[in-house]
Structure 1
Amino acid sequence: MNKLNTFREAVNPESLCNQACAAADDASALLAAALKPTATYSQVTLALEAILALTAKGLAGDAAAYAQYQSLLLELHIPGDARTEPTRRWMASQVYRMEDEFAPALSDFSALPVDQFREKVDAEIAARTRVKHPMSVHLFQGSPPLEDVRFFLQHHWNRSYNFYSLLAELAFRFEAIEDASVFYRNLYGEAGAEAPDRSHPALLSHLMTYFDIPLQVDFPALHPLEKAYLNNRIRCVRHTDVAWGLALLYAVESVSCVNHRRIYELLQRLGVPEEPSEFHRLHGTQDEIDTEEMWELIAKLAPSATFQRQFMQSLTRHFEINRAYFDMLWQQMQEQSGQPA
């Protein structure tokens, strides 16, 4: 029997907490109360039960519930009052546990020797790369208007400006320093090495400033699918099973050079000066080293069939969310510029 169907049949959101479900539409207010430093345990659990009810409904196909739970989860992920950090992380971790129940079943899964496993992973990434998406074809092989480029870069900033935090989160999942050091070396480069003004967020901000794109992200205003994309990245690197985070970051890093090179070439065609383009020029060449170091760590863990299954579940979920997110951006871009959707 399909595990996903079994879970959907077994979990009745009303069984989570009748009181919480009665107040599901007011879950934002419940969460706001729960995130006050003076909140009681009962306020925290009441808010969590409301969020879990929305999560179960959303993952079972309720679009409104899905949008609301992604918004509330992103609120838990965004840094806030330091006094509520433990509460926010604990509440988010309970949402992750429910999301795990809906992980792709992978009915055709079978463990492979490590070298064949990498071939399978790389083939899957190559087949699902963003470069083949219609929006990418429009931007990188066509003659996009400036407003389309600016729209793309704005959302590129939303998902890229704090990439360093994903590396830091995943590094903490490893007890052995030689394993964690893979991410610390990458993080050192992200932070600009010995020159903080050369940090990658700082370099990328120059491009945003050039295109007059605000650096402050308006998280509540983001589309639910963009929130889902950002939430899944944080969920994966915080997951107690490191296969989830490794799959997510390997998928991102392994195509980084190609993606950034395409963006740099686009900027060159538009006549963007070298200084604001530097972030993409650098990333068009240097991320291959990070990818190989990360695979060496993956290869140490890959003999485990459980690791391979979780890795592929993470990869599958990432690409499902990524595709929906890029489809949404492409539709919005076309609507913005008056093109037929």
Structure 2
Amino acid sequence: MNRLHAYRDAGRPLAAPAEDVSTLLAAALQPGAQLSRVTSALEAILALTERGLAGDAPAYAQYQSLLLTLHLPGEARTEATRRWMASQVYSVEDRFAPALPDYSPVSVALFRERVDAEIAARSRVRHPMSLHLFEGTPPREDVRFFLQHHWIRSYNFYSLLAELAFRFEAIEDASVFYRNLYGEAGAEDPSRSHPALLSHLMTYFDIPLRIDFAGLHPLEKAYLNNRIRCVRHPDVAWGLALLYAVESVSCVNHRRIYELLQRMDVPAGPSEFHRLHGTQDEIDTEEMWALIARFAPDESFQRQFMQSLARHFAINHAYFDMLWQQMPGQSSRQA
């Protein structure tokens, strides 16, 4: 580990050509790879991460791609290595995280008001893509494009709940996520699991269920990576902020999608996922807030929570701007 310590102590990257980093990582993730291979790959990824977060766009794209490789399920014998390497990338991201200037802790009640106000202010409700989809008359190709990316974001939401549950020592705390997981898994009927229900809509729109992760845009990879990074963070404020931000707007967002599907005369079966989520997620939100309230008196928790929200919304905004620009009907709208 001397080379890695040297990298950290020097405070500067040990440069490796960008095209070589993927090769180094592939070698490091071979079962039984020597520690020197793992260290070499990690040094190169951390250097790439620093360059990317400092403004180098190609480096940013590649580091997000490599981090997603570490996050995705792979060879079981390299699971521990992949998680450890990803955790080292998180430490670099933490150093580049924007500070919260002049943050003052507040009471728990005021903290919820502050959090909900921040979520409302950063809502996608007035985003041009949302206005086009939910208040306009979007063509089917635009709706299909939106739903395809919605599948990428939603199909494995259950895994985020499972990851965050492991961060809590007390079963009373973890049970908030286990109850949510029970619903995600379809309760007593696996055919009613939420991924299964959503897959029916994908099939209806002829959207492939298998995701080409390597082909995703760097900003979409960044969005997916940040979700995993937050729920794995040792400070539970990061994961709680991420999931609360998602769950607290879930009902409204799913209801709007359901209403869009109704206007398009999509049958009840493929629409069931969004009909269901348009009503039930409010319970999950309130249970999650009750857990957040137990930690919220701590000033450090409040600061980390708000920092997680800020990062989530910054990535989320850039990601949805990208989707709007890539939506199939955009070229005709700009003409």
TM-score range with shorter-chain normalisation?
over 0.9
What's the TM-score once normalised by structure 1's chain length?
0.94
Q: Distance in 2 between matches of 1:253 and 1:72?
A: 28
Q: Structure 1 pair 308/34, CA: closer, same or farther in 2 (3 Å)?
A: same
Structure 2 partner of 1:190: 184
1:15 paired to 2:12: yes
Structure 2 partner of 1:223: 217
Q: Distance in 2 between matches of 1:23 and 1:215?
A: 35
Report the CA distance between 1:339 and its aligned residue.
Answer: 2.3
Q: Distance in 2 between matches of 1:12 and 1:62?
A: 23
Q: Distance in 2 between matches of 1:287 and 1:109?
A: 30
Moved over 4 A (4+): 11-14, 334-337
Report the CA distance between 1:335 and its aligned residue.
Answer: 6.1
Do the aligned partners of 1:13 and 1:57 also contact (CA within 8 Å) in 2? no
Structure 1 partner of 2:131: 137
Q: Structure 1 pair 195/13, CA: closer, same or farther in 2 (3 Å)?
A: farther
Do the aligned partners of 1:56 and 1:98 also contact (CA within 8 Å) in 2? yes
Amino acid at match of 2:13: L
Deviations 1:17-44 (A, max 9, x none): 3xxx133331001000000003110000
> What SS does the aligned partner of 1:151 have?
helix
Show the 5 A alignment for 1:21-36: 21-36=15-30
Report the CA distance between 1:102 and its aligned residue.
Answer: 1.4
Do the aligned partners of 2:168 and 2:174 also contact (CA within 8 Å) in 1? yes
Show the 5 A alignment for 1:169-184: 169-184=163-178
Sequence identity percentage: 79
Report the CA distance between 1:130 and its aligned residue.
Answer: 1.5
Structure 2 partner of 1:154: 148
Structure 2 partner of 1:4: none
Q: Distance in 1 between matches of 2:33 and 2:211?
A: 27
1:207 paired to 2:204: no
Amino acid at match of 2:82: R
Structure 2 partner of 1:57: 51
Show the 5 A alignment for 1:300-315: 300-315=294-309
Q: Distance in 1 between matches of 2:146 and 2:10?
A: 37
1:238 paired to 2:238: no
Structure 1 partner of 2:65: 71
Q: Structure 1 pair 13/221, CA: closer, same or farther in 2 (3 Å)?
A: farther
CA RMSD, Structure 1 to Structure 2 (Å): 1.6
Question: Any unmatched runs of 5+ in structure 1?
Answer: 1-10
Give the total of aligned pairs.
329
Deviations 1:43-77 (A, max 9, x none): 00100010000100111111111000000000000
1:280 paired to 2:274: yes
Amino acid at match of 2:327: M
Q: Distance in 1 between matches of 2:229 and 2:11?
A: 25
Structure 2 partner of 1:98: 92
1:329 paired to 2:323: yes
Structure 1 partner of 2:264: 270
Q: Distance in 2 between matches of 1:12 and 1:228?
A: 27
1:114 paired to 2:108: yes
Question: Any unmatched runs of 5+ in structure 2?
Answer: 1-7
Do the aligned partners of 2:145 and 2:328 also contact (CA within 8 Å) in 1? no
Deviations 1:75-115 (A, max 9, x none): 00010010010000000000001111112201131111010
